[in-house]
């Protein structure tokens, strides 16, 4: 019998959401909104060094929005919207980068305020993580 996995998209038998908030979808982003976590996993598998892939996948975890501070969810969504706009619009590239940079700057400010709470959430779901406060350290 196969055990269902609703929390860890990078591990076997994941049946959780395709989009939502995920811990460590990128090595230097503790939490982010992902429109398609499977696309991110595919990118990891195709582009990251072989020695990083298994650990990146192991440390990713889905979190419900109600587990996160409202400021964090808002900042994550703002970054995703700005990032998506970079690829969809015909606006000059500099304008797009300005909007994205502003969203990322806000995200970093919010992250620094809630860093301890977010790290505790990561530890709850991935007790053996190797997040050092700035990035995922690879085993």
Q: What is the pLDDT of residues 92-105, one digit of tens each?
A: 666 667 888 899 99
Please state the rounded mean pLDDT for residues 29-45: 96
Whose structure tokens read 């591990």?
11
Higher pLDDT, 89 or 7: 7
CB 106 within 8 A of CB 18: no
Q: Is the pTM of this model over 0.85?
A: yes
| Strands, sheet with 29-34, edge to edge from the N-terminal-most edge strand | 29-34, 20-26, 61-63
> How confident is the prediction for the chain on average, in pLDDT?
92
* 139 alpha carbon, distance to own chain's centre: 19
Interval 46-97: pLDDT, tens: 999 999 999 999 999 999 999 999 999 999 999 988 888 877 776 666 666 7
Question: How do the domains of the chain map onto residue ranges?
Answer: 20-125
């Amino acid at each position: 019998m196969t055990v269902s996995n609703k929390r860890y998209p990078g591990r076997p038998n994941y049946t959780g959401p395709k989009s939502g908030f995920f811990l460590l979808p990128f090595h230097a982003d503790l939490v982010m909104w992902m429109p398609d976590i499977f696309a991110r996993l595919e990118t990891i598998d195709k582009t990251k060094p072989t020695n990083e892939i298994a650990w990146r996948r192991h440390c990713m975890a889905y979190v419900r929005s109600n587990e996160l501070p409202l400021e964090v969810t808002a900042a994550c969504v703002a970054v995703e919207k700005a990032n998506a706009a970079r690829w969809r619009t015909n606006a000059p590239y500099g304008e797009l980068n300005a909007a994205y940079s502003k969203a990322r700057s806000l995200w970093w400010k919010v992250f620094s305020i809630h860093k301890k709470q977010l790290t505790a959430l990561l530890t709850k779901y991935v007790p053996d993580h190797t997040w050092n406060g700035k990035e995922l350290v690879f085993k």
